[in-house]
Structure 1
Amino acid sequence: MLAVLVALSLFSQLIYADAINCKGCVPLDSYSFDKIISKFKAAVIKFDVAYPYGAKHDEFAKVAETTYSIPELLVGEVGVKDYGEKENSDLAERYKVNKDDFPVIKLFVAGKDEPVTFTNSDFTADNIKKFIRSNSEVYVGLQGCIDKFDALANKFVKTADTDLKKIILREAEDMWDKTSGRADQKAAEVYVKTMRKSLEKGDDFIEKEMKRVQNLAKGKVSKEKKEEILQRINILQSFKHDEL
């Protein structure tokens, strides 16, 4: 009977823990914080109330679920209490986090003294991922993107040598031929055509195309078309210097 009670107690604790922490998120406190984040190339940490919930928490949970396989990245949460023993309030004070601003996301990058704060008012999983990509050397794939093509896009945009750009384009074309699956083939086509147009129309094509597609996203389109446009925007992000 005692064994059953112990098992039930442990099971209830697991359910309780899962209810207050998103899957893939590591709960951190004043004792574990420095020890754990120092082991990673980058750590994206959400400072929030002790028992977080709501749309923003759900978006952060998506980041944790979709990046769990990236060994260089830690996704963690610090639950701050302003009552009782005020657990983790020292961490909030240390990083100048005000409870009125919860949730607050900060990115800790190895080798840098101060974390970077996520300031985008559009609190979405994709924007948090872009924030990580832009401020660290950790690769985080966005919806609709393919890592091998992202790497080529990054090389393509960073070189001013037209001949080298053509070589990279040829490599992308060969990869496109070998790509399987309708979704990946469609994404590969966007990468290749973006490179072709950039060579044809000049380096400012990508910036102009980004603005054009962003304007399309603001218009009245079907849910399926909207998703397609957003994925195209994500791919175009891979051609920016500050990505990857």
Structure 2
Amino acid sequence: MIIAHTPDADDAFMFYGMLSGKVTANFEIEPVVEDIETLNKRAFRGELDVTALSAHAYAFLHDKYRILSTGASVGDGYGPVVVASKEMEVEKKSIAVPGKYTTANLLLKLAVDDFQPVEMRFDEVLPAVKRGEVDAGLVIHEGQITYSQHGLVKILDLWKWWYEKTKLPMPLGVNAIKQDVLDTLSHPSASSPALLPPCPSRAQFPHPCYRKCLTAGISSIPALN
């Protein structure tokens, strides 16, 4: 079974139980680690059995995938932000976005009437803004915390915009399983929440992809080092 998630540190923790073998199954697991927009697009092509998805992308995939009961990403006081090299209005600017089907991009389109989106990988957004290739950038994952280290300033907080409009938490991402896989799996964990062990420290992660994911995410946040 192909199980996919992003390189973000929280995804590495969420999927650790299954992909490390701590949670056993009667099928072989093939791990895939890609940026969220790549996962969204691969899910559109039906290539992933279990995967992290943007909440926005899931709206297009609800007939092919089912949301799992664990592992959703919901913002409460925290969410995507637009950053730039200096204070400016967001309207009519070129803005780097981490993918057409990301929830962050949908929120930006709802909040801003007129801007020019420039699609790129999430980890290319901050460097592109620094180099002046775009006027501003829409950042997700740890970039929401670390943008100031790049000499950038926040010009739009999409969590604040969302909460002022809805007074609700912000749905950002989900974990989902293909409907046909769910229908054919006989293992109990296919239809019930997987029980994950207590989250281990970085030093206890045996698989190199998890050590890399966690180190990359945590090392960019000074307070956590």
Q: Which has the higher contact order (CA 8 A, sep 6+)?
A: 2
The structure where helix makes up a greater share of residues is 1
Q: Greater share of strand residues, 1 or 2?
A: 2
The TM-score by the shorter chain falls in which range? Answer: under 0.3
TM-score (norm 2): 0.24
